Structure 1
Amino acid sequence: MRNRAGTIALTALAPVSWGSTYAVTTEFLPPDRPLFTGLMRALPAGIVLLAIARTLPRGVWWGKAAVLGALNIGAFFPLLFLSAYRLPGGMAAVFGSLGPLWVAGLAVLLLSEKPTVRTLLTGIAAALGVSLVVLRATAALDTAGVLAALASSASMAAGTVLTKRWGRPEGVGPLVMTGWQLTAGGLLIAPVALLAEGAPPALDGRAVAGYLYLALVNTAVAYWLWFRGIGRLTATSVTFLGPLSPLSAAVIGWAALGEALAPVQLLGMAIAFGATLLGQAGVTKPKLFNSTEKNNREHSMDLMDKVLRR
């Protein structure tokens, strides 16, 4: 129990760190460069971790690392930064708390986990809490920013579930897996950023400091803790830590950026935090199937694995 609590606490540091992404993006980085920002956050961090680990994927893991890198990094980062540029910090981050609902649905298909009533109600409570924060925010919602935030949450949820399903190759730790995914995701973003945004912008000292923080602390360390947690906890338990990101963002927005927090927003934060705690209270058990259902389910879940082996 003590080991599990320690794992939860360390894993929670990842979303707490991610909550600072929005303040750093809006206050330190060049404007209107979401793809370049995603690239600078992912690729340097991935290269550093690969240099430390000195381990490359083998066999089927080239394909799996590419898929996970695309979901967790390559698609997630550009969508995340697009929402960060188009929405206020506290508002952009809160959509990540929809992750438990995405994960609950995907876990049925890929992990044979049956979501409990408590899991669904807790996920709804988290969404309700963050909705209260969003609806009482002082700035107007931007449709493109909202859609990007929702898509980024779905992408991260899919990556979390597949990371749990596939596990890791024998002898490979979470640090190596983090390096693989960050590098794969960064390489995916690079050509898109060049075509869509052109040459990199000129960077002053403030921007360089912001990118260094995002790459090293906010990405390399935070994602190592996140993937480590996925390997030791259930996917649902890990994703219920996601609301800590919008809570962190809202607190930073209030403390550092002067954003107001109305009483209803504080209530929403309390509900979301309570959902986070409740999401750690139990372990989702896999659904039991009869032999025919089990064989069909295992066959369905193995299709992607077989495609990647070809």
Structure 2
Amino acid sequence: METTWRWVLVTAIAPIAWGSTYFVTREYLPADSPLWGAALRALPAGLVLLAIRPRMPRGPWWWRSLVLGVLNVSVFFALVYLAAQLLPTSLASTVMATSPVVMMLFAWMLAGERLRVLPLVGAGVGIAGVVLLLATDTSSVDWTGIAASVAAMVLSSLGFILAKRWRDGTDVRAVTAWQFLAGGLLLLPAALLVEGAPPPLDVPALLGFAYVSVFATALAFAAWFTGLAHLPAGTVGLVGLLNPVTGVLLGTLVAGEVLGPAQLVGLVLVLAGILLGQPLVARAFGRRTTAGGRVVAERAPTAVAATSVP
């Protein structure tokens, strides 16, 4: 039990960091440069992790790193950067909260994980909370930003489950570093071709990229993939609901976005959804069900004996 909660807490580092990424990107990083923004986020993170775990890919990890780099890094980071520039902090982060269901479906189809009732219920409760969080003001929603968020969520969910399926004992930090470097190198020619020279960076932008790259990318993704290596995909996906919680709280406390009664209820539902998907809750529910079964089994012979007395 203690070990499970330790991995849950490690995993939680990722969505909390990602929830803050939207605010930092929107407030401090240059607008209209999603490809350069993604490249400047991925490459330093990959180099940091490679310095910690200096190891080159072997065998199938050459092409696996390329596939995961495209899904989890190059396309994903560019879409997230675009969404962060087009959407309010709370809205951009909460769209990603639908990922638990998508991750569970991909885990069922690709990794052979069973669809379990409590995580699915937790995902439903969490998504209900997301609906309340999104229902505050949709009049000024940029639907290009929504489309970018949805695409980022689907592609990254697929990439996360593939990383889980391909787990073979290779060091998580090394695998994560290879993804960042592959995705970042793929982004460089695309950024030069589409956006031209790198955007000028002032001191706040440099500090913003340092935060996003080291904390919200290198550390966060290493924590996330560690969680995927030790926990079911449904549990990890539900922990990801802390992403919108962080985004909404930052938007309220720092960016001055309004937190209404519906959003408060939504946050409570999101937290309830996270708890429902935890293995501890599933074990407690299973023990209760088993105990109930024993009561029935113990009472049944008595009833039979009573009816057999002449």
Instruction: Tell me if both proteins adopt one fold, taking TM over 0.5 as the criterion.
Output: yes
Alpha-carbon shift at residue 139 of structure 1 (Å): 6.6
User: 1:50 maps to what in 2?
Assistant: 50
Counterpart CA distance in 2 for 1:104 and 1:202 is 41
What aligned pairs does 1:14-33 form with structure 2 within 5 A after superposition? 14-33=14-33
CA contact (8 A) 1:7 1:229 kept: yes
Q: Please give the TM-score of this superposition, normalised by the length of structure 2.
A: 0.87
Kindly report the root-mean-square deviation, in angstroms, between the aligned alpha carbons of the 2 structures.
Answer: 1.4
What aligned pairs does 1:213-252 form with structure 2 within 5 A after superposition? 213-252=211-250
User: 2:195 maps to what in 1?
Assistant: 197
Q: For residues 84-111 of structure 1, what are the alpha-carbon distances to aligned partners after superposition, in whole Å with 9 as ceiling and x for unaligned? A: 1110010001011111111121122112
What aligned pairs does 1:147-162 form with structure 2 within 5 A after superposition? 147-162=147-162
Farther off after superposition, 81-90 or 186-195: 186-195
Counterpart CA distance in 2 for 1:71 and 1:203 is 27
CA contact (8 A) 1:22 1:89 kept: yes
For 2:147, give the aligned amino acid. L
CA contact (8 A) 2:83 2:148 kept: yes
CA contact (8 A) 2:65 2:179 kept: yes
Q: Which segments of 5 or more consecutive residues in structure 1 lack a partner in the other structure?
A: 284-310
User: 2:93 maps to what in 1?
Assistant: 93
CA contact (8 A) 1:91 1:137 kept: no
Alpha-carbon shift at residue 124 of structure 1 (Å): 2.0
User: 1:37 maps to what in 2?
Assistant: 37
Counterpart CA distance in 2 for 1:174 and 1:24 is 26
Counterpart CA distance in 1 for 2:138 and 2:24 is 20
CA contact (8 A) 1:39 1:189 kept: yes
Q: For residues 248-287 of structure 1, what are the alpha-carbon distances to aligned partners after superposition, in whole Å with 9 as ceiling and x for unaligned? A: 010011111111001001111111111111111338xxxx
CA contact (8 A) 2:118 2:282 kept: no
What aligned pairs does 1:57-96 form with structure 2 within 5 A after superposition? 57-96=57-96
- SS in structure 1 opposite 2:183? helix
Counterpart CA distance in 2 for 1:4 and 1:105 is 22
Question: Who wins on radius of gyration, i.e. which is larger?
Answer: 2
User: 1:290 maps to what in 2?
Assistant: none
Alpha-carbon shift at residue 51 of structure 1 (Å): 2.7
Superposed structure 1 runs of 4+ greater than 3 Å apart: none
CA 139–20 in structure 1, closer or farther in 2 if over 3 Å, else same? farther
User: 2:296 maps to what in 1?
Assistant: none
Q: How many residues align?
A: 281
For 1:212, give the aligned amino acid. A
Alpha-carbon shift at residue 122 of structure 1 (Å): 2.0
- SS in structure 2 opposite 1:240? helix
CA contact (8 A) 1:88 1:139 kept: no
Q: For residues 150-185 of structure 1, what are the alpha-carbon distances to aligned partners after superposition, in whole Å with 9 as ceiling and x for unaligned? A: 1111111111111111103x4x32111111111111
- SS in structure 2 opposite 1:20? helix
User: 2:145 maps to what in 1?
Assistant: 145
Farther off after superposition, 208-217 or 123-132: 123-132
Q: Which segments of 5 or more consecutive residues in structure 2 lack a partner in the other structure?
A: 284-310
